Amino acid sequence: MCYDRVKSDFVIITSSLERKKEKEYLKYLSYRDKLTELYNRNRYIELIDGLKGQKLYRTGVAYIDLNGLKRVNDQKGHEAGDRLIRNAAAVINDIFYDKVYRIGGDEFVVIFCEIDEQEFFDRMKILRERMNREKISVSAGSIWKAEIDDLEKVLKSADSCMYEEKEEYYRVNKIYRR
């Protein structure tokens, strides 16, 4: 009788621990991009919403977009395009470790609080150098502010800077967009 009760308690505890692990894994999946394992758009939106009305200090933000993904997909297939996205994500995450969000197909955002201006821009320089070495073309817009009252406004400015660089990429490479 005593053995059966211990066995029953063990089964209940084990089952409870398994449910807890499953719940944690589901939460992980809801915040992580399956292709890159970076934070996903859900986590990005939750962060932005959570920071509304808060003042941020010594913060760098960057919008990063891959150049030529459509051409890679068209010429080499979507598996090659996915590999390009994964490789770019690995480089970005290596430099900005866990401050990176994949918010769209080939769009990434970095939000790095409590970082010195020089360090942030040094990391952006390293990012560009590493992307060049890996033969990954990106357009990026980056902004650092000592104090931010409206994160969304700063993100929009970084996005605009990225699009200016993207337009230059298209102009220089004589790529005509539809």
Residue 29's pLDDT is what? 61
Q: What is the pLDDT of residue 174?
A: 79
Q: Please report the domains of the chain, with CATH numbers, ordered by start residue.
A: 41-172 (3.30.70.270)
φ/ψ bin of 26: left (φ > 0), alpha (ψ from -120 to 50), beta (otherwise): alpha
Residue 58 pLDDT? 98
> Phi/psi of residue 63, each to 5°?
-105, 130
| Residue 148: predicted pLDDT | 97
Q: How much is the pLDDT for 173?
A: 83
Q: Which residues of the chain have pLDDT under 70?
A: 1-17, 19-20, 22-29, 176-178
* CA 14/CA 18 separation, integer angstroms: 6
Which residue, among 104, 109, 112, has the nearest Cα to 33 in the 3D structure?
A: 104
Question: Which residue, chain included where needed, has tokens 């918010």?
Answer: 103
Each residue of 73-88: pLDDT tens digit?
999 999 999 999 999 9
